[in-house]
Every structure is written in structure tokens, then in C-alpha cells.
Structure 1
């Protein structure tokens, strides 16, 4: 059995008060963004160079051509 997430330590709340408390806590939890372990996409700098580099074409004399776009 799991421990309760919410426990009333003092007083005797009515069912309506408990419902209001649960609604507020649930709304607050839903509004909080989930923590991420790191960036899920490449940075703008990395994606720029990935999209703007030409593919390599090996062959005789290609090293000379690589200096002249």
C-alpha cells in the first residue's frame, strides 16, 4: 500500500473543503512544467551548420576543389 499524497493534520474539513483543496493542488501540479534532463533538440548553432554544409564527394583531385566552392 502506498502512503497518502495529502494528509489532513488538524481539523475536520467538510467534503466540499476537501474537494476545493484537491482541485487547487491538482491545478497547481498541472500548471508546473515537468523537469527535463536536458535540451531535446540541437542548439541553433549546431542546426545551422548541419543544414548549411555541403556533402563530401571523394575522388581524384577533390581536395583541390574543396578550397573553391
Structure 2
């Protein structure tokens, strides 16, 4: 694996930290058995937004959407 610094002048400590993160991520991906579906976040679940069906509005529902004061 080759890492190339495109901009800046990182210190050896900064390079070592970046390389440790890249290696840890690669090791974590290698430890997952093939064919395992990726973990999904609950934030991307559409069921958390609408947990029950919303009733369909009636044909005249648009007239009740705004009540002037």
C-alpha cells in the first residue's frame, strides 16, 4: 500500500496516526466474512419516520389546510 501526501508537510507523528487509522479500517473490513450484508443505520430506516399509515386526505382537505386568524 502506498500513501502519497499531496499537500502540506505532515510530521512523522501525523503520518503514523493517519496510517494507523487506514490500517485499522482495512483490518476491520478484512475481518467481515464475505457475503455479510453491510450494517445499516436506524437513521436510514424509513419506518422510523412513519410508524403507522397516515390516512388519505379527503377531496376537500385542501380547504382546511390554512385557517386565517
Report TM bin, short chain.
Answer: 0.3 to 0.5
Q: TM-score, normalised by structure 2?
A: 0.42
For the pair shown, the structure with the greater C-alpha radius of gyration is 1
TM-score (norm 1): 0.42
